[in-house]
Amino acid sequence: MSLRARFWLLAGIRWLSTGFIVPVAALLPLDRGLTVAEYGTVAAVQGITVLVLELPTGGFADAIGRRPVWIASAVVAFVSYGVYALAQTPAVFAVATALAGAYRALDSGPLNAWFVDAVHDREPEQTRSAVVANGLSGYASVVGLAIATGAVLSAALVAWAPLGDGQALVVPYWVAAALSVVQIGAAVVLMDEDRSARIGGLVGAIRATPAAILDGTRLLLGSRVLRALVAVEIFWGFGMIAFETLTPIRLSELLGDRDAAAALMGPVTAAAWGVSALGAAMVPLLLRRWSMVAVSVALRLVQGATVVAMGIAGGPVGLVAGLFATYAVHSAAGAIHETLLHEQVGNEQRATVLSLGSMVLHPGASIGLVVLGAVATAASTGAAIVVGGLVLALAAPLFLVRAPAPAAVRGAPMLDREGTPVAPTRLQEASPWANSYDSRSATESGRSDSTGPR
Segment 267-320, tens digit of pLDDT: 887 888 889 989 998 988 898 888 889 999 999 999 999 999 999 998 899 999
pLDDT value of position 418 = 42
Q: How many CB atoms lie within 10 A of CB 79?
A: 17
In a domain, 410, yes or no: no
pLDDT value of position 206 = 65
Of the candidates 434, 134, 126, the one whose C-alpha atom is nearest the C-alpha of residue 293 is 434
CATH number at residue 179: 1.20.1250.20
Is the pLDDT at 368 greater than 80, yes or no?
yes
146/53: higher pLDDT: 146
pLDDT value of position 327 = 94
In a domain, 351, yes or no: yes
Contact by Cβ (8 Å): 49, 105? yes
Task: Count the helices and strands in the chain (H runs, E runs).
Answer: 19, 0
Q: How many CB atoms lie within 10 A of CB 38?
A: 17
Instruction: Give how far Cα 404 sits from Cα of 99, 219, 222, 398, 435, Å.
Output: 41, 15, 11, 15, 17
In a domain, 411, yes or no: no
d(CA 66, CA 319): 40
Query: What percentage of the chain exceeds 70 in pLDDT?
Result: 83
Average pLDDT over the chain reads: 81
Angle, helices 381-393 vs 224-244, to 10°: value is: 160
pLDDT value of position 205 = 57
Q: Supply the DSSP symbol for 408.
A: T
Segment 211-236, tens digit of pLDDT: 666 766 777 777 888 889 888 999 99
In a domain, 202, yes or no: no
Is the pLDDT at 110 greater than 50, yes or no?
yes
Band of the pLDDT at 410, cuts 50, 70, 90?
A: very low
Distance of CA 125 to the CA centre of its chain: 26
Q: Which domain holds residue 375?
A: 3-192+207-402+425-449
Is the pLDDT at 352 greater than 50, yes or no?
yes
Segment 324-341, tens digit of pLDDT: 999 999 989 988 998 888
In a domain, 113, yes or no: yes
In a domain, 412, yes or no: no
Contact by Cβ (8 Å): 269, 22? yes
In a domain, 60, yes or no: yes
Is the pLDDT at 122 greater than 80, yes or no?
yes
Segment 171-208, tens digit of pLDDT: 999 999 999 999 999 999 999 877 665 555 555 656 66
Is the pLDDT at 111 greater than 80, yes or no?
yes
| Cβ partners under 8 Å of residue 297, min gap 6 | 396, 397, 399, 400
263/200: higher pLDDT: 263
| Cβ partners under 8 Å of residue 177, min gap 6 | 17, 77, 78, 81, 82, 85
Domain count, the chain: 1
Q: What would the DSSP string read from start to end of 219-240?
A: HHHT-HHHHHHHHHHHHHHHHH
pLDDT value of position 121 = 83
In a domain, 420, yes or no: no
Band of the pLDDT at 55, cuts 50, 70, 90?
A: confident
Q: What share of the chain is helix, strand, coil (3-state, %, to 5)?
A: 80, 0, 20
